Chains A and B, each alone.
Chain A
Amino acid sequence: MNSLFHRQCATFTMIFFAFFLYCATAFSEPFVPGGDIGSQTENGFNSLGPVVEQPIEFPHNVHAGQLGINCMYCHTYARRAPVAGIPRLNKCIGCHQWVASVKDKPRIQQLMEYWDKKEAIPWKKVHDLPDFVRFNHERHIQRFVFQENRPAKEACGYCHGDVANMVTARRVKALSMGWCVSCHQKDHPISATNSKTTNGPNDCWQCHK
């Protein structure tokens, strides 16, 4: 009992020191949030985002994987619009009316039904940023695919993950602010030929609207 008082003091001091040390280290080293998400999803999936029920269970693994179709063949708006967009129905039909082999597959049947009804397919958003965020696919595609000549799979994959191995797309990256900023602060070569590098814009209004 007698010496309790000093030990108590010591404990206090040690706690304080520990805290200061933590702050010092934390502030001097950038705090990198997990590139792969855990807590970001509502119904906490440890490595993948939630499975999204789509009107048609679209097999990315077949189109992007086995057939190796370029992302931007279907998501054609990505290079010229803020949103990558979903291929218009007649694009799907454009190919599938000639693909006899799968004509009787249930998915294709569904597809044809929509086409006959001349009705747009109500696809669900998988990578849905908050409404105050202005993300522009065009800028990123222009920079990384057309200027740096990276393969679309890599450029798109950085945010969308390895879609070629998914059936319907799932969100695999945090897409949180720190996650964006961590990349915007890196230096990227301005083009494949040029060794000069710049980092992404750090101005709030580039992404916040």
Chain B
Amino acid sequence: MIDRSEEKDIVVEHRFIPRDQDIDDEIAWAKINTDVLQSMERPRPLYWVIFFASLLLFSWGVYCEIYQYQNGLGVADLNNPQVWGLYIATFIFWIGMSHSGTLLSAILLIMHADWRKPIFRFAEAMTTFSLMTAGLFVLVHLGRVWQFYYVVAYPNERWVWPNFNSPLVWDATAIGTYLTSSVVFLYFGMIPDLAICRDAASGFRKKFYWLLSLGWQGTDRQWANFRVAYLTIACFLIPLAVSVHSIVATDFAVSQQPGWHVTSFPPYFVAGALYSGCAAIITLFIILRYVFRFEAYMTMPILDKTCRLTFAIAMVWTYLNLIEYASVWYGNDMYAKQALIYRATGSYAPFWWAMNILGSIVPFALAFKSLRANLKIMMVVSLLLNLGMWLERFMIVTPTFAHGYYPWTWTNDWWPSWVQWGIVIGSFGWFTMLFMLFCKLFPTVSMYEVKEMVFHRKSSRQAKK
């Protein structure tokens, strides 16, 4: 256990990091190991409280799903125009979340932005878990989930293919690939750290890490292979990440609904995905930094960079959003225009305005250095941004169905039933649960990369001298 008596001076500890440095390059490698490994030690009671709370949420979601499975989707109060409801909205939300990890670990890796190193690990974990959550929503929303394998193209007794024209088949393929490769990427990147854990751990834990670390010894040969493989997977992952959310976008862009039939949807979705992902990273950054005392690694300058990155993406998203409105407004598609006006003035208008304010106005908080330096404000802001992003997905699905081509089926007062809410909330429980497990089983900060970072910083500083 960690001695809690030194808390005060830990809190002000970032004082001695020079402003221009992301991390204190004098920090000892051994300290890095101990600091990170302590995060994996026996959890505090609060941990269990939160853990079981999220477990409870998750099991409530499971109950709702079983109830819906038995009685049919009718209990979700979906109906003829409103065929998708919250399930698809939340599905997009989680897919979006998943893009942060790839951004930090793969894209920034290629761009040699080494400030990513202390924070990309948990971002990747986030990617994996949110993808798993998103996958669940695909299944949850199916009418006959026990037949989901019809979508997969495999040699079968019925002699029929899936319909390769359908974006859903693309979805299934892309998400499947993305999930596997991000799991591989996450695991692969952890191998050296797992070896460290193996050496530090004892008892059955030792066995566990011994198995996972695949006999990593840190020989030059291993490092060489490792680097190549890691880079390869990273390069493989980047186009995948972009394609996945573009495909999710095509689910809508390919279809006919007024308001969906927009060419700018794929970039719009990708931007939105990175946006919500970064917001989520900020949230978790602050939480982990506080909970695990990672002030030495998740330093303010890194948060600052992350926030600036987020702000940039937010602006891109805002731009694409405005483009979408403008193209509808100045275009002569009467149906799409009606749909847009309905969103801004109809019964879902409050959500629409909230979405636009949270998505495009609130991020300006990230533009101010003073605010960026304030953890509490950043926490609130990041949560607001994610709320905004969820509302965006809600606005894409529900009002479109409520005000489609066919006036006879227009609905003004559709609202999801408790079953839908239950499953959505359950998914958050599920995500939190997985993430908390991860924090205790695996190092949330990549030790070897931090060491590299420290080493590089130090050597370059000495070179400057």
Residues in A lying within 8 Å of B, measured CB to CB: 1-2, 4-6, 8-9, 23, 26-27, 30-31, 33, 176-178, 181-182
Q: Are B214 and A177 in contact, CB atoms less than 8 angstroms apart?
A: no
> Is the Cβ of A178 less than 8 Å from the Cβ of B225?
no
Q: Which of B154, B157, B158, B225 contacts A5 (CB 8 A)?
A: B225
Interfacial residues, chain B to chain A (CB-CB below 8 A)? 154-160, 214-217, 219, 222, 225, 229
Task: Indicate if the CB atoms of B159 and A177 lie closer than 8 Å.
Answer: yes
Supply 7 A–B pairs (Cβ within 8 Å), ascending by A.
A4-B214, A4-B215, A5-B215, A5-B222, A5-B225, A178-B159, A181-B159
Q: Which residue of B156, B214, B217 contacts A31 across the interface (Cβ within 8 Å)?
A: B156
- Per DSSP, chain B at the interface is loop
Cα-based distance from A31 to B216 in the complex (angstroms):
43
Residues of chain B lying within 8 A (CB to CB) of residue A31: 155-157, 159
Partner of B157, one of A2, A8, A23, A33: A33
Chain A residues near B229: list those with CB within 8 A.
9
State in angstroms the CA–CA spacing of A65 and B192 once bound together: 76
Are A1 and B157 also in contact (CB < 8 A) when A6-B225, A9-B225 are? no
Counting chain A CB atoms within 10 Å of each CB, which of B155, B157, B214, B225 scores highest? B157
A5 / chain B contacts, CB cutoff of 8 Å: 214-217, 222, 225
Closest beta carbon of chain B to A35's beta carbon, Å: 12
Determine the distance from Cα of A23 to Cα of B120 in the docked complex, in whole angstroms: 35
Q: Which residues of B contact A4 (CB under 8 A)?
A: 214-215
Q: How far is the CB of B157 from chain A (nearest CB, A)?
A: 4
- The reply to whether A1 and B217 form a contact with Cβ atoms under 8 Å apart is yes
Q: A30 vs B156: C-alpha distance in the bound complex, in angstroms?
A: 9
One of A9, A27, A177 near B158 (C-beta < 8 A): A177
Please measure, in the bound complex, the distance between the C-alpha atom of A9 and the C-alpha atom of B214, giving whole angstroms.
Answer: 10
Q: How far is the CB of A76 from chain B (nearest CB, A)?
A: 33
CA distance A128 to B155 in the complex (A): 26
Please tell me if the beta carbons of B225 and A30 are within 8 angstroms of each other in the complex: no
Contact partners of B158 in chain A: CB under 8 A: 176-178, 181
Q: How many A-B residue pairs have CB under 8 A?
A: 41
CA distance A9 to B225 in the complex (A): 10
Bound complex: CA A176 to CA B159 (Å): 10
Instruction: Establish whether residues A2 and B217, one from each chain, have CB atoms under 8 Å apart when the complex forms.
Output: yes
Q: Which of B158, B159, B219 neighbours the largest number of chain A CB atoms within 10 Å of its CB?
A: B159
Query: How far is it, in angstroms, between the C-alpha of A26 and the C-alpha of B157 when the chains are bound?
Result: 12
In the complex, the answer to whether B159 meets A30 with C-beta atoms within 8 Å is yes
- Name the residue on B nearest A6 (C-beta): B225
Shortest Cβ distance from residue A54 to the other chain B in the assembled complex, whole angstroms = 30
B157 adjacent to A178 (CB under 8 Å): yes
* 5 residue pairs, one from A and one from B, having the closest CB atoms: A4-B215, A26-B155, A31-B155, A181-B159, A178-B157
Q: Are B214 and A8 in contact (CB under 8 A)?
A: yes
Q: What separation, in Å, do the CA atoms of A177 and B219 have in the docked complex? A: 57
Give every chain A residue within 8 A of B159 (Cβ-Cβ).
Answer: 30-31, 177-178, 181-182
- Give the complex CA separation of A31 and B215 in angstroms: 41
* Chain A positions within 8 Å of B155 at CB level: 26-27, 31
Q: Which B residues are in CB contact (< 8 Å) with A177?
A: 157-160
In the complex, given contacts A31-B159, A182-B159, what are 14 additional A-B residue pairs having Cβ atoms less than 8 angstroms apart? A4-B215, A5-B215, A5-B216, A5-B222, A5-B225, A23-B154, A26-B155, A31-B157, A176-B158, A177-B157, A177-B158, A178-B157, A181-B158, A181-B159
CB proximity of B372 to chain A, nearest CB, Å: 42
> For B216, what are the chain A residues with a Cβ–Cβ distance below 8 Å?
5
A10 CB to closest chain B CB (Å) equals: 11
User: Chain B contacts of A27 at CB under 8 A?
Assistant: 155
Q: How far is the CB of B231 from chain A (nearest CB, A)?
A: 15
* Nearest-Cβ distance from residue B240 to partner chain A, whole angstroms: 16
A182 to B160, CA, bound (A): 11
With A and B bound together, what is the CA distance between A27 and B155 in angstroms? Answer: 6
Write the chain B residue with the least CB distance to A40: B157
B325 to chain A, nearest CB (A): 42
**Chain A positions within 8 Å of B225 at CB level:** 5-6, 9
With the chains together, A6 CA to B225 CA distance in Å? 9
Residue of A nearest to B158 (CB): A177
Write the chain A residue with the least CB distance to B217: A2
Q: In the docked arrangement, what's the CA distance between A178 and B156, Å?
A: 8
Give CA–CA (A30, B159) in the complex, Å.
8
- Asked if residues B214 and A2 are in contact (CB atoms below 8 Å), the reply is no
